[in-house]
Structure 1
Amino acid sequence: MYYDFMLNMGDNACVNILRLLNEETTHQLQRTVISDLLGLTNYQLNKYLVVLNEDLATVSDEAPSFIDEVNKGTWTGHNVTTYITQKIYLLYIKRSSLYPVFEFRAFYDNQEVKASVYAQEHFQTESTFYKNDRKLKKLLNEQHFHTVAGISQETEFVTRLRLFQLYYTTYTGIEQPLPELNTLSDQLITALKPLLVSDLKPTQTVKLETLLKVWVLRQQNHNLLTTERLSANLRDDTYHAISDALQRTLGSKFPVSTAEADYLFSFLLTQGFLGLNDIPYIEQNFPMATKLAKGFIKQLTDKSVLTADTDIMATGLYKQLLAVDLQFTTFISPKQISFFKTLYPTFDLLIRNFLSTLKQRVSFELSERMVVNLYFSYMFCLINTIPTTNIKDRVFICVDFSEGALYTNYVIRSLQAFDHAHIVIQRQLTDETNIYISDFRSMAVTVPQIIWLDPPTSQDWSELADVILDIKRDQLSRLFPDYDWSDQDPTSI
């Protein structure tokens, strides 16, 4: 979920302008394009340009970040990085008139904290605070904040998921969220560390810290989970050790119920904090995740896109799929799909077919974002585990330059960047060769030839990419004669 709906109107426009500039390789955009895409007038653009530059000066690092219009009609962003955009977004979230109301309702409204006092502490009158409260409630309902398609869980579970998403994605790498819990979260992590996998990565520490803070604050606000979600066999020695560590650290603040211990243990397990990810353990305790992983493996083998000698279990794909499906069944940008569809069309086909089947199951009501996340998770599993040698739709490219081995090696090293796209580089022409690259055309070669007289230009690479795609399309037509590749919308799954 994106939280732009909580931003003040002008700030919302400013961050969208910054995102547009950041997405451009040159960090340049025509004023008219920005106006058309965001529906802004020239007056608004002029105003927001001033505001943006003031805010960019606030969040700039050593190298200043700013936007200028030296060439009339063209906006150019300087040092407009993803990190700077994230810092601006956090700045805008924190100065949103709705944000104090959001935090009050999330963490303090059931405690001995008066709304009027909280409003005054955040520079709002009581009447303004209640007006913003009504507005926020309406927006949260419109955004389906308390429900997630495909997750059949109590409202409190979903609310915590939303809160975790907000604080983890908005604050990560910039500053610690909910600083009033810093000391307690540090104590909890210290108590849990001996029971977790050694050497937590920085991202894992931040993720755990954020989850613990939301978990504690919701309980302190008397927003409790009531559903016990783990079977008795999962409450093993590790589970009880974690539960005891939580009870000791929290002391008299509040007792940790079985439902709350189940919740935290599930998070630690599915996010890989416990190291309990061996195949027999997951298969025994998580039948739905196991069923999904085995279903995907069956489709992969049934479609015959791999060579006959492929040992699917030896690739490690099954274990990675179990990890993906474990997170999906326990917890739960589309534009980039077209990139992977082009490079890995057979993987794309398999994943689409599997997700299409999954969407038809009554037990899985999948939102678009969930489907996209699963698409990328499965795609990365396949890319990371299935070697090019086991793929049938490979493209063999023979490199043969008359200038000798040095130049040939240079071109080969350049082409090896394509290795992940199931490209096989050859030094000798064979019966398998699909493309021949040289500095002279050869009458003895019958496959498509690419002629590069000098170091390849961008046009040369573009020509090669077109030929590769033509060959892949031809191969796919033979592998899947009944499948229509022409009218497939890459962003619809």
Structure 2
Amino acid sequence: MYYDFMLNTGDQATLQILRMLNEEPTHRLERVIVAQRLGLTNYQLNKSLVTLNQDLAAVADETPSFIDESTKGTWVGHHITTLLTQRIYLLYLRRASLFPVFEFRAFYDHQDIKASVYAQEHFQTESTFYKNDRKLKKLLKANDFYSISGINQDPEFIVRLRLFQLYYTAFTGLDRPLPQLNDCSDQLVAALQQLFATPMAPTQKVKLETLIKIWLLRQQNQAVIKTPQLAANLHDATYQAVSDTVHRLLDDTLSVPAAEIDYLFSFLLTQGFLALPDVTSAQANFPLADQLTRQFIQQVDDKAVLTADTDLSATDLYNQLLAVNLQFTAFYVEPTTFISADQITFFKRLYPTFDLLIRDFLNTLKQTVHFKLGERMIVNLYFSYMFCLINTIPTTSIKDRVYIFVDFSEGQLYTNYVIKSLRAFSHAHIIIEKQLSAKTDIYISDFRSMAVNVPQIIWLDPPTAQDWSDLADVILAVKQTRLKKFFPNYDWSD
């Protein structure tokens, strides 16, 4: 969910311009195109350009970031990066007149803090504060703030999830959100980390810190989870250790009920901080995630895209799919990456049989789950399932694998160099043969051979970028031919 609606009107337009520039490979935009897309007048465009350059100067590193119009009608961005765009977004969020109202209603309106005092502390009059409050309520409703795609429709769960999405994506490691809780969250994160099997990556630490701060503030504001979420079989030694840690550190300041321990423990499980004890636990506590995982694996068998001797139980496919489906069904955090449908074509061409599986499963999923599936969620699930298959299914099990034999007259030294370079094409399910065989699909050499009846790639010099591109086209052509043979009734066109 994007929270641009909370920004000041002028900043919304300025941010859109910056995003458009950042998305353009050349960082060039025609003024007239910007005006048409955003519906801005020439005066508004000039004002946005001045504001944007001032703001870029405020957040840039040593290298200046700015936009100029040296050529009339063409805006050119200099040192415009994703990082700079994130910094600008956070700057605009912090200066948004609605943001203090949002934080007050989320964290403080049921504590001993008067709205009039809070408004004054944030440089707003009481009347302005209440006017912004009424505006915010309308915007939250209009932007479906209280409605999510997911199985858990508990109102408090939804609010916390939305809060988490905002603070985790807006601050993105640029700064620590809700700094008044830094000391408390640091203690909890450090203590909980002792229970994890592996050290946390930086992004995991930011994710856990953000969740804990929101979890604490919501409870302090009398907004609590009332219904326990986990069955008794998950109240194991690890669960008890998490509970003991929380009570040891918080009992002096906050009474944490069992349902809240369940909430925290569910987050740790679904986000991969802790592992489920066994498959039985997944079936008992997260039946939908387990069901979807088994349906996907059954579809892999039914579609027969793998060789007959493939043993899926010997792979880690179930566990990786379960991790995806746990997040999807239990604690789905709207992603900010791998959400562009434009990139799907790349994976479809490289992994056509995986694409077949995923597309058919997602179509089935739309008919079977009882909650709304947004377009970004569908795209993100596509990538997640794709990576599960890529990471767990060996190339030798793929029916559309391509066999390549490398044979250079310079001898084994150069042949081995090319073979090593070909490892970069492992994502295309390539198998390098040690000798020419009946399975050979592509022959790579510096001399054409009359004895070879398969496509031949001739490289007289070390391959250029164009040479690799041409090879990729041949590989894809071989795969397409094979796929039409294995699956004659499926549409393999782009």
Q: Which residue of structure 1 lines up, in the alignment, with residue 398 of structure 2?
A: 391
5 Å-filtered alignment, 1:237-252, equals 237-252=237-252
The TM-score normalised by the length of structure 1 is: 0.91
Deviations 1:332-352 (A, max 9, x none): 223222221121111111011
- CA 198–149 in structure 1, closer or farther in 2 if over 3 Å, else same: closer
5 Å-filtered alignment, 1:404-423, equals 404-423=411-430
Confirm or deny: 8 A CA contact 2:406 2:418 kept in the other structure.
yes
The DSSP-based 3-state class of the residue aligned with 1:227 is: coil
Give the deviation of 1:228 after TM superposition: 1.6
Give the deviation of 1:220 after TM superposition: 1.1
- Return the letter of the residue paired with 2:388: C
Give the deviation of 1:49 after TM superposition: 2.4
Q: Which residue of structure 1 lines up, in the alignment, with residue 377 of structure 2?
A: 370
CA distance in 2, matches of 1:323, 1:13: 38
5 Å-filtered alignment, 1:6-405, equals 6-283=6-283, 285-332=285-332, 333=339, 334-402=341-409, 404-405=411-412
Return 5+ residue gaps in structure 2 as ranges. 333-338
CA distance in 1, matches of 2:196, 2:122: 39
- Return the letter of the residue paired with 1:475: R
User: Number of residue pairs matched?
Assistant: 487
- Return the letter of the residue paired with 1:417: A
Deviations 1:350-405 (A, max 9, x none): 01111221221153442223322222221111111111111110123334444555
Percent of paired sites with the same residue: 67
CA distance in 2, matches of 1:415, 1:347: 22
Confirm or deny: 8 A CA contact 2:229 2:263 kept in the other structure.
yes
CA distance in 2, matches of 1:433, 1:17: 52
- Return the letter of the residue paired with 2:301: T
Give the deviation of 1:145 after TM superposition: 0.6
- Return the letter of the residue paired with 2:319: K
CA distance in 1, matches of 2:227, 2:284: 22
- CA 233–413 in structure 1, closer or farther in 2 if over 3 Å, else same: closer
CA distance in 2, matches of 1:28, 1:365: 38
The DSSP-based 3-state class of the residue aligned with 2:314 is: coil
Confirm or deny: 8 A CA contact 1:400 1:427 kept in the other structure.
no
CA distance in 1, matches of 2:417, 2:79: 33
Confirm or deny: 8 A CA contact 1:191 1:249 kept in the other structure.
no
Further displaced range: 193-202 or 334-343: 193-202
CA distance in 1, matches of 2:434, 2:25: 35
- CA 160–9 in structure 1, closer or farther in 2 if over 3 Å, else same: same
Further displaced range: 159-168 or 359-368: 359-368
Confirm or deny: 8 A CA contact 1:358 1:364 kept in the other structure.
no
Q: Which residue of structure 1 lines up, in the alignment, with residue 336 of structure 2?
A: none
CA distance in 2, matches of 1:439, 1:77: 45
CA distance in 1, matches of 2:152, 2:273: 24
Give the deviation of 1:121 after TM superposition: 1.6
Give the deviation of 1:70 after TM superposition: 4.0
The TM-score normalised by the length of structure 2 is: 0.91
Give the deviation of 1:428 after TM superposition: 4.5
Give the deviation of 1:39 after TM superposition: 3.9
- Return the letter of the residue paired with 1:123: F
Deviations 1:59-89 (A, max 9, x none): 1123222233445544333322222221111
- CA 120–318 in structure 1, closer or farther in 2 if over 3 Å, else same: same
Deviations 1:218-259 (A, max 9, x none): 111111222221122222333233223323322243321222
Further displaced range: 470-479 or 379-388: 470-479
Q: Which residue of structure 2 lines up, in the alignment, with residue 491 of structure 1?
A: none
Q: Do structure 1's residue 465 and structure 2's residue 472 form an aligned pair?
A: yes
Further displaced range: 83-92 or 465-474: 465-474
Confirm or deny: 8 A CA contact 1:395 1:471 kept in the other structure.
yes
Further displaced range: 244-253 or 288-297: 244-253
Confirm or deny: 8 A CA contact 1:69 1:75 kept in the other structure.
yes
- Return the letter of the residue paired with 1:93: L
The DSSP-based 3-state class of the residue aligned with 1:75 is: strand
CA distance in 2, matches of 1:362, 1:90: 35
CA distance in 2, matches of 1:142, 1:156: 19
CA distance in 2, matches of 1:447, 1:271: 48
Return 5+ residue gaps in structure 1 as ranges. 489-493
Give the deviation of 1:94 after TM superposition: 0.8
The DSSP-based 3-state class of the residue aligned with 2:123 is: coil
Q: Do structure 1's residue 478 and structure 2's residue 485 form an aligned pair?
A: yes
Deviations 1:99-131 (A, max 9, x none): 111111111112222222222222222222222
- CA 484–71 in structure 1, closer or farther in 2 if over 3 Å, else same: same
- CA 284–66 in structure 1, closer or farther in 2 if over 3 Å, else same: same
Confirm or deny: 8 A CA contact 1:277 1:323 kept in the other structure.
no
- Return the letter of the residue paired with 1:483: Y
CA RMSD of aligned residues (A): 2.5
Deviations 1:282-306 (A, max 9, x none): 3454333222222211111121111
CA distance in 2, matches of 1:23, 1:416: 31
Confirm or deny: 8 A CA contact 2:293 2:325 kept in the other structure.
yes
CA distance in 2, matches of 1:36, 1:408: 55
- CA 269–431 in structure 1, closer or farther in 2 if over 3 Å, else same: same
- CA 404–22 in structure 1, closer or farther in 2 if over 3 Å, else same: farther
CA distance in 2, matches of 1:91, 1:52: 11
CA distance in 1, matches of 2:135, 2:345: 38
- CA 235–342 in structure 1, closer or farther in 2 if over 3 Å, else same: same
- CA 197–176 in structure 1, closer or farther in 2 if over 3 Å, else same: same
The DSSP-based 3-state class of the residue aligned with 2:76 is: strand
